[in-house]
Chain A
Amino acid sequence: MSSKTTVNIVVALNCEAKPLIDFYRLSKVQSRPFDLYVGSLAGNNKDKSNNGELECTVNLVVSGLGSQNMSIACGWLAGRTDQQQTIWLNIGTAGHKELATSEIVRVHRVVDVADGRSHYPALTAKWRGLSSALLTYDSACSNYPEDALVDMEGSAFFHAAGMFASSELVQAIKIVSDNHVESVERLNASLISQLITPHTNVINQYVVSLLALLPSSQDLTDYLSMVRHLHCTVSQRQQYKELLSKLASLDQLNSQTAEEINNADSITALIKGLRNQLANLQPSLAEMRN
Chain B
Amino acid sequence: MLDTLYIEESVSEHFRTQEIVARYPAAQKIYIEKYSEVFNPHAQNFRLQKQNPALILAAKQNKKVLSTPTQYETGGGANYYFSHMLNCLYDCRYCFLQGMYRSANYLLFVNYEDFVEDIKKHAQIHKNDDKPAWFFSGYDCDSLAFEPVTKFADFFLPEFELLPNCVLELRTKSTQIRSLVDRNVVPNVVVAYSLSPQEVASAIEIGAPSTEKRLDALVKLQQHGWRIGIRFDPIIWHQDYQIHYKTLVEQVFSQLDPSKIDSITLGGFRLPKGYYKTMRSLYPEHGLFSAGLTEQQAMVSYQPEIEQEVFNSVSEFIRTFVDESKLFVYPSHSETIL
- Residues of chain A from 116 to 167 with CB closer than 8 A to chain B in the complex: 118-120, 122-126, 131, 162-163, 165-167
Q: Is A113 an interface residue (CB 8 A)?
A: no
- Residues of chain A from 199 to 235 with CB closer than 8 A to chain B in the complex: 213-218
Q: Is B32 an interface residue (CB 8 A)?
A: yes
B287: contacting residue among A126, A162, A169, A284, CB under 8 A: A284
Given contacts A250-B287, A288-B93, is CB(A125)–CB(B200) below 8 Å? no
Tell me if B's interface is mostly helix, strand, loop or mixed: loop
* Interface residue range, chain B: 35 or more
Given contacts A108-B28, A250-B287, is CB(A282)–CB(B47) below 8 Å? no
Comparing A7-15, A53-61, A241-249, A262-270, the segment that makes contact with chain B is A241-249
Separation in Å of the B18 CB from the closest CB of chain A?
21
**For the complex, what is the distance from the CA of A165 to the CA of B48, rounded to whole Å?**
12
Q: Is A287 an interface residue (CB 8 A)?
A: yes
Separation in Å of the B138 CB from the closest CB of chain A?
23
| Chain A residue contacts of B45, Cβ below 8 A | 166-169
Given contacts A108-B30, A120-B37, is CB(A283)–CB(B52) below 8 Å? no
Given contacts A167-B41, A218-B284, is CB(A288)–CB(B203) below 8 Å? yes
Q: Is B290 an interface residue (CB 8 A)?
A: yes
With most chain B CB atoms within 10 A of its CB, the pick from A120, A166, A285 is: A285
Given contacts A168-B44, A288-B238, is CB(A249)–CB(B285) below 8 Å? yes
Separation in Å of the A226 CB from the closest CB of chain B?
19
Q: Closest residue of chain B to A246, judged by CB?
A: B290
B239 pairs with A285, CB closer than 8 A: yes
A positions within 8 Å CB-CB of B: 108-109, 118-120, 122-126, 131, 162-163, 165-170, 213-218, 245-251, 278, 281-290
B positions within 8 Å CB-CB of A: 3-4, 6, 28, 30, 32, 37-38, 41, 43-45, 47-49, 51-54, 93, 103, 105, 199-200, 203-204, 206, 236-240, 283-292
Given pairs A109-B30, A122-B44, A122-B48, 7 additional interface contacts (CB within 8 A)? A119-B41, A124-B48, A168-B48, A217-B284, A246-B290, A250-B291, A283-B287
